[in-house]
Amino acid sequence: MTRRSAVLTLSLSFALACGQSATPTPVDLEGAAPSSPTPWARVRPARDTTLVTTLGRVHGVGAAAGTAITAPFATRVRRVHVAPGDAVEAGAPLLEVDAPELALAAAERSGATAEGAVVGARLQTLRTLASEGLARADQVHETARDAAAVRTRAATAEAQLRAAGISARDRATLARTGSLVLRAPRAGRVLRLEVREGDPVPGDRPLVVLAGEGAVRVEGRFSGAYPEGATPVLRTDRGDVPLRVVGEPLADPETGLRVVFFEPIGPTTLREGERFPLALVGSLDEDGATFEVPSSALHALAGDPRRAEVVRRADGEHVSVEVLRVDGASALVRGALTVEDEVAVEPSQVLGLGEGEAE
């Protein structure tokens, strides 16, 4: 029974009970005070709004991805020179670590170099004397062998120092103190500090991660299809950063989520590892076909969660719409509506109405 027929039935019953004429008195449904909220709601224009919000993770590219500073041997941290977030120049000290094996190599390199100079001078003298018949050939050969052995020792120590990245300016300190200063290979900022003073660390473990300047990418993960025409914006604590999509969305087989990568438009201060809200903003009123309606007005269509129907009051027509977003009591839809239209708040109450009955 419709609302109009229910009201007319009550009016007739009241008239008959009072002995009055059975002719019903016209009832103004529009002006009557409703006993429940109106079943119709005005369609409102949708303006720029956030369609989807997810978490955006910043990935560095190249130097911006971060450089791990390691010690190529087991050691102990003697001193820490930096803290996370510090800006450092190329060559700046980061950590001081114990390096007894490299200290021996530095001492061996220094000693072998000095010994080689002495043996080399002696060999030159013997060769001069031998040419004058004042020295035996076996003396020259023995000294030449000693010179070769010294050069081998120096080359071996040099190879150890080079493999560990020990600069010439650090070798004297290393030989004297037994400690090594790990320096920044390039300018950047300290992204992570993985150790404290006194920590023992195995070889090849990252001790400091340094992020340099460079390009970045932003990763976003979405449960639904990426909205066409949406503008991605990363909302950071330093202001909004406009983004653009890079490549096609990917499907994560483990989670089923769609993974989309973005790059900043213009210069940015984003750094590896940062996380901020990633908003997809739509300029929804450009074509005049996107509107805001009550979410309860949507009558879902089977098989497609992004399609629904609303019932228009003017003609009772079921209007097919694309559902862009549902947020609590309101929904953003795209379809053949106008701002003059009203739609049923509860479609189930009026789905049986035809043209003219929706009044």
**Confidence at residue 34, expressed as pLDDT on a 0 to 100 scale:** 43
Residue 80 scores a pLDDT above 80 = yes
Question: Could you give the count of Cα atoms lying within 13 Å of 250 in the half-sphere of its Cβ?
Answer: 12
Bridge partners of 77? 97
Q: Which runs of consecutive H residues, i.e. helices, occur in the chain?
A: 3-17, 100-131, 137-163, 168-177, 347-350
Q: How confident is the model at residue 203 (pLDDT cuts 50, 70, 90)?
A: confident
Same domain, residue pair 207 and 301: no
The residue from 195, 211, 227 where one domain ends is 211
Residue 222 scores a pLDDT above 50 = yes
Same domain, residue pair 194 and 151: no
Residue 262 scores a pLDDT above 90 = yes
Residue 306 scores a pLDDT above 50 = yes
Q: Is 324 helix (H, G, I), strand (E, B) or coil?
A: strand
354 φ/ψ angles, rounded to the nearest 5 degrees: -105, -175
Domain containing residue 83: CATH number: 2.40.50.100
Same domain, residue pair 2 and 110: no
Same domain, residue pair 80 and 136: no
**Confidence at residue 142, expressed as pLDDT on a 0 to 100 scale:** 93
Residue 170 scores a pLDDT above 70 = yes
**Confidence at residue 77, expressed as pLDDT on a 0 to 100 scale:** 93
DSSP letter string over 75-96? EEEEEE---TT-EE-TT-EEEE
**Confidence at residue 25, expressed as pLDDT on a 0 to 100 scale:** 39
How far is 220 from 56, CA to CA, in rounded Å?
5
Residue pLDDT, tens place only, 20-66: 444 433 434 344 344 445 589 998 877 656 667 889 999 888 766 67
Convert 1-21 to b/e letters by CB count within 10 Å (16 or more is b). Answer: eeeeeeeeeeeeeeeeeeeee
**Confidence at residue 49, expressed as pLDDT on a 0 to 100 scale:** 63
Residue 99 scores a pLDDT above 80 = yes
In this prediction, residues 126-132 reach a mean pLDDT of 90
Same domain, residue pair 93 and 115: no
The residue from 188, 211, 234 where one domain ends is 211
In this prediction, what percent of the chain has a pLDDT beyond 90?
A: 28
**Confidence at residue 15, expressed as pLDDT on a 0 to 100 scale:** 42
Q: How confident is the model at residue 103 (pLDDT cuts 50, 70, 90)?
A: confident
Same domain, residue pair 57 and 19: no
DSSP letter string over 250-298? EE-TTT--EEEEEEESS-----TT-EEEEEEEE-TTSSS-EEEEEGGG-
How far is 31 from 66, CA to CA, in rounded Å?
70
Residue 316 scores a pLDDT above 60 = yes
Same domain, residue pair 306 and 205: no
| CB of 201 closer than 8 Å to CB of 74 | yes
For all residues of the chain together, what is the average pLDDT? 80
Same domain, residue pair 26 and 135: no
How far is 359 from 313, CA to CA, in rounded Å?
7
**Confidence at residue 63, expressed as pLDDT on a 0 to 100 scale:** 66
pTM confidence score: 0.47
Q: Which has more pLDDT, 100 or 229?
A: 100
**Confidence at residue 171, expressed as pLDDT on a 0 to 100 scale:** 82
Integer CA distances (angstroms), 153 to 31, 106, 161, 294, in order: 106, 11, 13, 84
In this prediction, what percent of the chain has a pLDDT beyond 70?
A: 82
Bridge partners of 241? 234
How far is 115 from 121, CA to CA, in rounded Å?
10
In this prediction, residues 158-183 reach a mean pLDDT of 83
**Confidence at residue 355, expressed as pLDDT on a 0 to 100 scale:** 42
In this prediction, residues 324-339 reach a mean pLDDT of 82
Domain count, the chain: 4
Domain containing residue 323: CATH number: 2.40.30.170
Same domain, residue pair 120 and 198: no
Largest Cα–Cα distance in the chain?
Answer: 158
Range of the structural domain that residue 154 is part of:
100-177
**Confidence at residue 288, expressed as pLDDT on a 0 to 100 scale:** 62
Same domain, residue pair 113 and 163: yes
Q: How confident is the model at residue 208 (pLDDT cuts 50, 70, 90)?
A: very high
**Confidence at residue 273, expressed as pLDDT on a 0 to 100 scale:** 82
Residue pLDDT, tens place only, 344-353: 998 877 655 4
DSSP class of 336? S
In this prediction, residues 312-340 reach a mean pLDDT of 85
Same domain, residue pair 321 and 245: yes
CB atoms within 10 A of CB 30: 6
Residue pLDDT, tens place only, 171-199: 888 888 888 888 898 888 898 899 999 99
Q: How confident is the model at residue 115 (pLDDT cuts 50, 70, 90)?
A: very high
How far is 205 from 203, CA to CA, in rounded Å?
6
The residue from 127, 152, 177 where one domain ends is 177
Same domain, residue pair 170 and 275: no
| CB of 281 closer than 8 Å to CB of 229 | no
Residue 286 scores a pLDDT above 70 = no
